[in-house]
């Protein structure tokens, strides 16, 4: 039986990770090529984040709130690229990496409510500089293990050594509940080296269902709150029009009520990407 103490400790894991990273750099990018290679990806992520932040500010200015909870970006390390190439049964070559690894640059955007994900997708689809290459909707069609998220592969303008180019960026969009579930799934995959025991897989699948139900309940509650708020605004407008006195507590900007979200029918964007 393998002793638990034989597993690498946190410090040892980091040392092994750094060694694997250096080995991956030398194998994939000989002569220090990796030092320059991420430049184009970093540039693309900066541009994409700037564009998303502009949309975020526009929403906040127009509606009094932003439906985006937070944004994270990352560049995949060489050791992770090698691991993925190995799982795909591909050789550790630069051309294989460019052809088959599309998530070297990644961005994750987390939202409180699922409908806002599709609203941002619509905005991205109308952007002149961002090209949608592929959409994988794991929200409408979850993975067998329960994973839910919207994956969008983008072609983003960038530059390398002062010359214009385009690189691929994988954009993941999910709700807070989906993100919490995915974080736990990632921890278990790492702990068990992708061989998660069946009973834990079953528990994860059950938790995914609970997370999905939470998203539905929160969306329903938001719709109910908005419905009540719209009725109050209507009554306020009628009293104002008739000249009836209006208390100070009744006088409040409509943006407080309407800024949370538009009606469900408006938010359900039927966006389709033609390849």
63 CB burial (10 A radius; 0-12, 13-18, 19+): middle
β-strands 163-175, 70-75: how paired? unpaired
d(CA 191, CA 10): 12
Read off the DSSP letter of residue 31: G
Read off the DSSP letter of residue 9: -
Our answer to whether residue 213 is catalytic in this structure is no
Q: How many CB atoms lie within 10 A of CB 227?
A: 12
Question: Which residue spans within 15-130 are E strands per DSSP?
Answer: 70-75, 105-111
- Tokens for 115, please give them: 């409908």
Taking CB atoms within 8 Å and a gap of at least 24, the contacts of 241-247 are none
120 CB burial (10 A radius; 0-12, 13-18, 19+): buried
- Tokens for 9, please give them: 């400790």
Q: Could you say which of 63, 77, 170, 231 is catalytic?
A: 170
Q: How many CB atoms lie within 10 A of CB 253?
A: 10
Measured between alpha carbons, how far is residue 164 from residues 65, 84, 158, 211, 269 in Å?
35, 28, 6, 42, 33
Helix axes 115-125, 37-63, angle to 10 degrees: 120
Catalytic annotation, residues? 170
């Amino acid at each position: 039986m393998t002793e638990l103490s034989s597993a690498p400790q946190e410090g040892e894991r980091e040392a092994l990770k750094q060694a694997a990273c250096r080995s991956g750099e030398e194998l994939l990018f000989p002569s220090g090529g990796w030092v320059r290679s991420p430049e184009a990806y970093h540039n693309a992520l900066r541009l994409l984040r700037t564009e998303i932040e502009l949309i975020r500010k526009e929403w906040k200015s127009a509606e009094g709130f932003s439906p985006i909870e937070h944004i994270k970006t990352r560049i995949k390390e060489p050791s992770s690229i090698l691991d993925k190439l190995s799982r795909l049964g591909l050789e550790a070559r630069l051309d294989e990496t460019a052809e088959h690894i599309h998530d070297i640059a990644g961005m994750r955007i987390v939202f409180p409510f699922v409908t806002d994900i599709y609203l941002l997708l619509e905005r991205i689809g109308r952007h002149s500089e961002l090209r949608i290459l592929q959409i994988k909707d794991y929200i409408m069609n979850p993975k067998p293990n329960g994973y839910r998220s919207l994956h969008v592969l983008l072609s983003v303008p960038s530059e390398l050594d002062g010359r214009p180019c385009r690189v691929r960026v994988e954009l993941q969009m999910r709700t807070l509940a989906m993100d919490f579930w995915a974080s736990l799934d990632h921890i278990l995959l790492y702990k068990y080296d992708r061989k998660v025991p069946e009973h834990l897989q079953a528990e994860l699948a059950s938790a995914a269902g609970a997370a999905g139900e939470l998203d539905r309940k929160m969306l329903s509650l938001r719709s109910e709150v908005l419905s009540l708020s719209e009725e109050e605004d209507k009554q306020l407008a009628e009293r104002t029009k008739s000249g009836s006195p209006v208390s100070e507590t009744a006088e409040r900007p409509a943006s407080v009520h309407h800024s949370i979200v538009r009606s469900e029918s408006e938010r359900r964007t039927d966006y389709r990407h033609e390849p």
